Amino acid sequence: MTNNLDFLKNDSLTAASDLLGCYLEREIDGNIVTVKIVETEAYDQNDAASHSFKGQTERTKIMFGPAGYLYVYFTYGMHYCCNIVTDKVGVGSAVLIRAVEPINGIDMMEKLRRRQGIEISNGPAKLCEALNIDKTLNGHDLSVSPLKLLYNQSIPKEDIVISTRIGISKAKDELKRFYIKDNPYVSRV
C-alpha cells in the first residue's frame, strides 16, 4: 500500500479499474475510519451522462483540475456522492465511488448511518454518509488528512467485473462500471 497517487493521472476508465481495492482513510473526531473501494464508475468529458459533458461550470470545475482531488456533489435534494478526479488538468473526468467495504471504525459508521451490515456502505450516497462526507470536502486533496486515498494493488484482473452503469438516464449502455467479483458490498449485480 502506498500513498503515490500517480495512477490517477490516467484516463478515467483505467483509473476506475485501478481504484478497486484501494483504501480510504477518514478522520472523524480524532477517530480513524478505513474502508476498501469495491465498486466504481468512470465519467469523462465525451460522456453524455457526465457532469463535465457540457464543459466546465462553477459546479464541475473540480473535475477539470488535477487528479487526486475529491469532487462531491449534492443530488435528489438529500444525498451527497463522491468522485475522485482523474486524468490531466483541463480534462473533465472523474470516478464515482459507488460502494466500499468497512475495514476499521465500523462502530462509527454504524452510528452515522443508523444501519448495520451491508447497509452501511453499499451505495454511493450511503458511503458518503458513513464517512461523513459533505460539500465541505469538495476539492479536498486526497493525499492529506482528514481524508486520504491509499493505493493498494491487490485485486487480480480475473476478480474485476466490468458492466453497464447504474442510476443514470443517458448513455446507460456504456461499460464503465467496475466492481470486485462476489464482494457483498457491491450495490447491485
Partner DNA sequence: AGCGGGATTTTCT
Partner DNA sequence: GAAAATCCCGCTT
Residues that bind DNA (CB under 7 A): 41, 43, 49-52, 54, 57-60, 63, 71, 73-79, 81, 83, 94, 96, 113, 115, 119, 123-126, 166-170, 187
Least separation in angstroms between residue 30's CB and DNA is 26
Nearer to DNA, 2 or 163 (CB): 163
Least separation in angstroms between residue 40's CB and DNA is 10
- Radius of gyration for the alpha carbons in the chain, expressed in angstroms and rounded: 15
Least separation in angstroms between residue 59's CB and DNA is 4
Residues 6+ positions from 7 with CB-CB distance below 8 Å: 14, 15, 18, 151
First to last CA, the chain: 28
SS3 track for 139-150: CCECCCCCEEEE
Nearer to DNA, 95 or 180 (CB): 95
Least separation in angstroms between residue 147's CB and DNA is 17
Nearer to DNA, 117 or 156 (CB): 117
Nearer to DNA, 34 or 122 (CB): 122
* Strand-pair category, 31-43 with 79-85: unpaired
Place of cell 465511488: 97
Least separation in angstroms between residue 150's CB and DNA is 21
Nearer to DNA, 27 or 74 (CB): 74
Please state the length of the chain: 189
Alpha-carbon distance of 109 to 121, in angstroms, equals 9
